[in-house]
A and B are shown apart, each in its own frame.
Chain A
Amino acid sequence: MVEPHVVVLGHAADRTGPPMYLLQLLRDLDRSGLRITIVLLRGGELLADLQELAEVRVVGEPVDSAAALPGRLAEEPARLRARRAQLADLRDVDLAIVNTAWSIHALPWLPVPPARLVSVVHELGAGVADLLDRPALDALLASDRFVAGCGAVAGMLADDLGVPAERIDLIPYGVAQDGSDPVPVDRTQLDADDDAFLVLAAAVPDRRKAPDLFVHLAATARRRRPDVPWAFRWIGATEDDPRLADARTDRALLDAGDLVRFVPPTPALRTALAAGDAFVLTSRQDAFPLAAVEAALAGLPLLCFASGGIGALVEPDGGRLVPFPDLESMVDALVAWHDDPPGRTAAGGAARERARRHHDAADHARAFDRAVLGGLRGDRPAGAPA
């Protein structure tokens, strides 16, 4: 019997949200009875982990015709032929899963359209309609079904992009968990003193995630309460990351070199977060960053702008949501948590309980299996032996 063939189209294997989501999903899914091939536009540090779970082919991103040098553009037809040759055998695809909207760019390279297309959308407007050109957006919208990990994305698909609600599966995101409390790392690993009030963020340092506002938040907190030994640490970027050039300069202008530091990404994010006192997300827009779930599981109260899908985890008692871009209100929350440790602990506890109850990766995988893969295996119940 021929196994159903599932191809996952992904943009990268770096340690960022969607690739980490895919890795966890594949770990938790019942993959028996399925042939799974992953096609990535580029590699990354999670490549080896993904290769343990499925065959992976890295095909390279298309060059930007507006920005590429002439020589690079001239090479593009040959690279396109090489990409097609690399994927020429993928003619029997029963299901293609697009993991992130941008990955739709890999779909035309399949030699034959897949029998069925499911798109897992992790982005809000900034990552979909604002990022994709019309042909790519049309290709994405032609998906048979959509998976949204939070209500904000489901709402965006339905309200902004006109996707019929019956084609959208809302399956709450999850992260791996075993019910135990993480043991905090030593604060020296975060370049912070034991007596500091340690405010943590965890994200790639691009503009959407707003490290610039993180620096401003730190400066605002120091101005409002200079007596507090603030320490703001952004996990997920080295100090020399070129994407931080503006934030670094701002930090220098504000004489905040000791106040704000950038810490490299870590595979043990939860134990790093557990060393903090509060988690803050300054993103201009963010669908549902898994780092916030990790922070909740680490017992931190959550502080975010009300500009994405994380509100369901934060509200009503797991932290504070404030209107974008109200840094003063963010500082109000941080000051309140600093001055009221029991209140802070209670908020962190509430966030942890909600994360444990609603955001377990194993639950997500089971629901994903039922909604997306179940039909491939006939009537075999999800999770049953193949």
Chain B
Amino acid sequence: MHGDEGDGPVTRPHVVLLGHGAERTGPPILLAHLVRGLAAGGRYDLSVLTARSGPMLAEYEAAPARALAVSAAREPLGRTAAALRQVGAGSAVGPLQDARRRQVARRLAPADLVYVNGATPPTADLLRALDPPPTTPVVVHVHELDVGLRINLGDEQRRDLFDRADRIVAASGAVARLLVDGHGLAPERITTCAEFVDVAALQPLPPDEARAAAGIPAGAPVIGGVGLLDWRKDPDHLLRAVHALRRSDPDLDPWVLWVGGDPDSDDGRRTAAEARRLGLEDRFRHVGHQDHPDRLLGAMDVFALPSREDALPLAALEAAATGLPLVCFRAGGIADLCDLGAGTTVEYPDTAAFARALADLLADPEARARVGSAARALVRAEHDTGVGVARIAAVIDAGLEGGRR
């Protein structure tokens, strides 16, 4: 046990939390909620080590936790790696980057438990670099579904990660089912700890103030989404659904507000081109990344999650927490929430059904209020930080007490 407090040494366990990055996206934000919650309990010494730097490092430090990043770039030793690859010495890149990861990891005191936040290539690399002794328990928190686990993570990395994990935390029921049914993990190794958000911190603007901030007329009906613009989140699919809705229910005439990503990126231009192609350029507003996207939730009447797959996105939980009804594909954890009354789920990729679900909610203010109210209650009961941190702390405590499997 490591750490000092007051006049003499205390026996607070040192928990090292590994993250792929410190940008303001789902898993790093959830890690901040977790670190703050664990630190508030005062029972652990906390360190966070991320592969990439970013704005969330300051929030980890404020928790307080010691926070370190291996690299400010997308990969360690970015320029050196590029130069080596250019001269045909790409095989030297991996060992050099591993050495850099080990060099940074050595700055941390030995861990009593390692918490791997995310089954991703960078977190797998960090765990290998940290190389905790065989007696040190490891918890792996899986936020990923099929694309993340099967496509992004190599076979070897996935095997190493799951073999080394003593306990596995699944971010939603959908993740737990995939781990058991798709990857053959024993159910008893898995604890489902649903993702959570800081409900008290959410501050949506009043509707028309939020609409004005997004360039949308007061009183206009708005379908909104929050997230990156990548293929997995698939904002283009939302545009196609709204295009279908406008043909089937022209009187509804909704606006589409997407918050997140960079409008000037390739993905941003692609999405804008899709909106033009669909004749939606006058009804589509894309507001780039926001440190507080919850403020613009106030502009929305319905929250759409067009993701191909998504474990349990915080943006949708935040939307539900503010009383927005949800529409999603049956492609991840939000579908479970909708099945409990927080919204409507349709089969992926049934664009017409997605459009119908949006239209039904837009056309019926009472249904919106009823479903939104249920969504708010569900999130407050099951997905607020207090509940979420307690669930994970129980897994950590079990790991500390039980040691290795």
How far is B348's CA from A253's CA once the two chains are assembled, in angstroms?
Answer: 9
Given contacts A284-B277, A324-B277, A326-B244, 7 further A-B contacts (CB under 8 A): A69-B83, A220-B350, A249-B147, A249-B151, A252-B150, A253-B147, A253-B331
Q: How far is the CB of B359 from chain A (nearest CB, A)?
A: 15
B75-87 vs A, CB cutoff 8 Å, 1 = contact: the mask equals 0000000110010
B264-278 vs A, CB cutoff 8 Å, 1 = contact: the mask equals 000000100110011
Query: Please, could you name 9 A-B residue pairs with CB atoms under 8 Å apart, sorted by A?
Result: A126-B273, A216-B349, A220-B350, A223-B350, A253-B331, A284-B274, A307-B277, A324-B278, A325-B278
Interface residues of B in 275-329 (CB under 8 A from A): 277-278, 308-309
Chain A residues closer than 8 Å to B146, beta-carbon distance: 249, 252-253
* Contact among A72, A223, A245, A284 with B86 in the assembled complex (CB-CB below 8 Å): A72
Chain B residues closer than 8 Å to A326, beta-carbon distance: 244
* Contact among B147, B150, B243, B352 with A328 in the assembled complex (CB-CB below 8 Å): B352
Interface residues of A in 326-352 (CB under 8 A from B): 326-328
How far is B270's CA from A130's CA once the two chains are assembled, in angstroms?
Answer: 11
Central interface residue in B146, B243, B349, by most chain A CB within 10 Å:
B349
Chain B residues closer than 8 Å to A220, beta-carbon distance: 349-350
Across the interface, do A219 and B349 meet the contact criterion of CB distance under 8 Å? yes
How far is B274's CA from A285's CA once the two chains are assembled, in angstroms?
Answer: 10
Chain A residues closer than 8 Å to B83, beta-carbon distance: 69, 71
* Chain A CB within 8 A of B380 CB: no
Across the interface, do B82 and A69 meet the contact criterion of CB distance under 8 Å? yes
Interface residues of B in 337-357 (CB under 8 A from A): 347-352
Instruction: Decide: A253 near B308, CB < 8 A? Known: A216-B349, A325-B240.
Output: yes
Chain B residues closer than 8 Å to A130, beta-carbon distance: 273
* Chain B CB within 8 A of A254 CB: yes
Across the interface, do A71 and B352 meet the contact criterion of CB distance under 8 Å? no
Q: What is the number of contacts between chain A and chain B, taking CB atoms within 8 Å?
A: 49
Residues of B within 8 A of A (CB): 82-83, 86, 146-147, 150-151, 231, 240, 243-244, 247, 270, 273-274, 277-278, 308-309, 331, 347-352
Chain A residues closer than 8 Å to B309, beta-carbon distance: 253
Chain A residues closer than 8 Å to B351, beta-carbon distance: 216, 325, 327-328
* Chain B CB within 8 A of A250 CB: yes
How far is B270's CA from A216's CA once the two chains are assembled, in angstroms?
Answer: 19
Instruction: Decide: A254 near B151, CB < 8 A? Known: A246-B231, A285-B277, A325-B240.
Output: no
Q: How far is the CB of B78 from chain A (nearest CB, A)?
A: 11
Central interface residue in A126, A253, A254, A323, by most chain B CB within 10 Å:
A253
A250-262 vs B, CB cutoff 8 Å, 1 = contact: the mask equals 1011100000000
Q: How far is the CB of B176 from chain A (nearest CB, A)?
A: 18
Q: Whose C-beta in chain A lies nearest to the C-beta of B82?
A: A69
Q: Whose C-beta in chain B lies nearest to the C-beta of A284?
A: B277
Chain A residues closer than 8 Å to B244, beta-carbon distance: 326
Chain B residues closer than 8 Å to A216, beta-carbon distance: 349, 351
Chain A residues closer than 8 Å to B247, beta-carbon distance: 323
Q: How far is the CB of B223 from chain A (nearest CB, A)?
A: 17
Q: Whose C-beta in chain B lies nearest to the C-beta of A208?
A: B273
* Chain B CB within 8 A of A35 CB: no
* Chain B CB within 8 A of A27 CB: no
Q: How far is the CB of B151 from chain A (nearest CB, A)?
A: 6
How far is B16's CA from A103's CA once the two chains are assembled, in angstroms?
Answer: 55
Chain B residues closer than 8 Å to A284, beta-carbon distance: 274, 277
Chain B residues closer than 8 Å to A252, beta-carbon distance: 146, 150
* Chain B CB within 8 A of A207 CB: yes
Q: Whose C-beta in chain A lies nearest to the C-beta of B146?
A: A253
Instruction: Decide: A254 near B348, CB < 8 A? Known: A69-B86, A71-B86, A325-B243.
Output: yes
How far is B331's CA from A254's CA once the two chains are assembled, in angstroms?
Answer: 10
How far is B137's CA from A337's CA once the two chains are assembled, in angstroms?
Answer: 61
Q: Whose C-beta in chain A lies nearest to the C-beta of B351?
A: A327
Q: Whose C-beta in chain B lies nearest to the C-beta of A224?
A: B350
A302-321 vs B, CB cutoff 8 Å, 1 = contact: the mask equals 00000100000000000000
How far is B247's CA from A246's CA once the two chains are assembled, in angstroms?
Answer: 28
How far is B244's CA from A126's CA once the two chains are assembled, in angstroms?
Answer: 22
How far is B376's CA from A257's CA once the two chains are assembled, in angstroms?
Answer: 39
Q: Whose C-beta in chain B lies nearest to the C-beta of A215?
A: B349
Q: Whose C-beta in chain B lies nearest to the C-beta of A285?
A: B277
Chain A residues closer than 8 Å to B82, beta-carbon distance: 69
Q: How far is the CB of B45 from chain A (nearest CB, A)?
A: 40
Across the interface, do A250 and B277 meet the contact criterion of CB distance under 8 Å? no
Chain A residues closer than 8 Å to B240, beta-carbon distance: 325
